[in-house]
């Protein structure tokens, strides 16, 4: 790539925009995933679990699901 | 068990979100590695290939502009198949797939519009013209934005899913308009030069980095989409757990 060529600023701006969008999207999915997993951990710590994740309590049948 | 029923069974097995989470967790690292490799090779060719005799260095804008434009339309296609999955087969992951694809599609449509403007100014002498290709592509961006707004505005996820699916399928009419706008109307854009009858009209020097970057962008979309679908499934689980928690709190009554 010739950095002294005319209009090179337009090329660099295009690749800069692509970089911002790609890294923005990667950051969005990573941070969103972390936030959702933190939400689930917080709910589980408070004793709230999905019915399929609950361990069978003593006296109940192991496959008993509502 | 017949082959047909076995195939249907396998398809319906994938409808289980827990199975999807396990499968995507195994697939994602490999897909991310492939994406990084394709970007490394694609960018190497994009930077080191020769400049065009007329356009000079600005031809390199094509290697980010064209793949993002292709991706913007492909993502809408993925959303349309998902919309059919929601309305016809009531596949539990279909709405998750459509909803997860919307922001990614909007981002790549926006990128195609911005890089198109940056390519248009030095080549056409204008940042923007209201020709058929640009206008129909801008409508695609508005459709993505509208679908995101609709999904955020409706609280009932089932209603949002049905309405979004109908709107997505109605909006699909814009995709062939974008594709064939350069043939149907007189526009500043050149007619199709890569995917056309009689083979590509682009020299191999430019076609190589273009196809490599298109493959890299496509793999990137599948990585982002899988990750965003996983996040959407977790978001729905959080909502269910919160409802469950509120219900049990209401049943137990206020603490003494």
- Alpha-carbon distance of B142 to B148, in angstroms, equals 10
Instruction: Please report, for chain A, the start and end positions of each structural domain, with discontinuous segments joined by +.
Output: 12-44
Span A44-65, mean pLDDT? 59
Q: Which structural domain range is residue B169 located in?
A: 60-242
User: ipTM for the complex?
Assistant: 0.87
Residue B4 in tokens: 């047909």
Tell me whether residue B11 is in a domain.
no
In this predicted model, which residue has the larger pLDDT, B249 or B117? Answer: B117
Q: Which residues does A contribute to its contact with B (CB < 8 Å)? A: 1-2, 5-8, 10-11, 13-15, 17-18, 21-22, 24-26, 28-30, 32-33, 36-37, 39-40, 43, 46, 48-50, 52
Residue A35 in tokens: 């936030």
Tell me whether residue B152 is in a domain.
yes
Q: DSSP states of A42-56 as a string?
A: HHHHTT---GGGSPP
Question: Within a 13 Å sphere around the CA of A43, how many CA atoms are in the beta-carbon half?
Answer: 22
Q: Do B60 and A11 touch (CB under 8 A)?
A: yes
pLDDT tens-digit map of B178-219: 998 888 888 888 777 776 666 777 788 889 999 999 999 999
Q: What is the structure's pLDDT at A63?
A: 39
Q: Do B240 and A50 touch (CB under 8 A)?
A: yes
Q: What is the structure's pLDDT at B89?
A: 87
In B, which residues are within 8 Å of A25 by CB distance? 103-104, 107, 224
In this predicted model, which residue has the larger pLDDT, B90 or B134? Answer: B134
Cα-based torsion angle of the residue sequence A40, A43, A48, A50 in order, rounded to the nearest 10 degrees: -10
To 10 degrees, what angle do helices B204-252 and B17-48 make? 150
Give the gap in angstroms from C-alpha B85 to the nearest C-alpha of chain A.
24
**How many structural domains comprise chain B?**
1
- In 3-state terms, what secondary structure has residue B52? strand
Tell me whether residue B165 is in a domain.
yes
Tell me whether residue B10 is in a domain.
no
Tell me whether residue B32 is in a domain.
no
Tell me whether residue B98 is in a domain.
yes
pLDDT tens-digit map of B23-65: 999 999 999 999 999 999 999 999 998 877 778 789 999 999 9
Q: What pLDDT band is residue A64 in, cutting at 50, 70 and 90?
A: very low
pLDDT score of B254 more than 70: no
């Amino acid at each position: 790539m010739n950095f002294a060529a005319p209009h090179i600023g337009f090329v660099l701006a295009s690749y800069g925009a692509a970089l911002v969008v790609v890294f923005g999207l990667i950051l969005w999915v990573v941070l969103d995933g972390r936030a959702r997993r933190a939400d689930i951990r917080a709910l589980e710590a408070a004793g709230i679990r999905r019915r399929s994740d609950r361990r069978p309590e003593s006296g109940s049948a192991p496959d008993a699901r509502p | 068990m017949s082959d047909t029923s076995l195939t249907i069974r396998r398809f319906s097995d994938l409808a289980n979100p827990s199975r999807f989470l396990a499968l995507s967790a195994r697939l994602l690292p490999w897909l991310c590695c492939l994406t990084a490799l394709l970007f490394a090779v694609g960018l190497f060719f994009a930077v080191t290939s020769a400049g065009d005799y007329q356009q000079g260095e600005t031809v390199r804008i094509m290697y980010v502009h064209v793949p993002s434009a292709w991706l913007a339309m492909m993502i809408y296609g993925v959303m349309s198949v998902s919309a059919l999955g929601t309305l016809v087969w009531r596949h539990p992951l279909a709405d998750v797939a459509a909803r997860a694809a919307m922001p990614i599609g909007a981002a790549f449509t926006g990128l195609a519009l911005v890089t198109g403007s940056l390519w248009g100014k030095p080549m056409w002498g204008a940042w923007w013209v209201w020709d058929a290709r640009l206008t129909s592509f801008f409508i695609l961006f508005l459709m993505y934005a509208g679908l995101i707004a609709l999904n955020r505005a409706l609280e009932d996820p089932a209603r949002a899913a049905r309405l979004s699916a109908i709107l997505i399928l109605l909006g699909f009419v814009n995709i062939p308009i974008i594709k064939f706008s350069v043939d149907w109307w007189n526009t500043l854009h050149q007619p199709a030069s890569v995917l056309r009858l009689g083979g590509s009209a682009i020299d191999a020097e430019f076609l190589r980095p273009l196809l490599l970057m298109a493959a890299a962008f496509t793999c990137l979309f599948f990585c982002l989409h899988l990750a965003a679908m996983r996040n959407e499934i977790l978001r729905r689980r959080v909502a269910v757990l919160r409802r469950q928690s509120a219900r049990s709190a209401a049943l137990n009554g206020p603490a003494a």
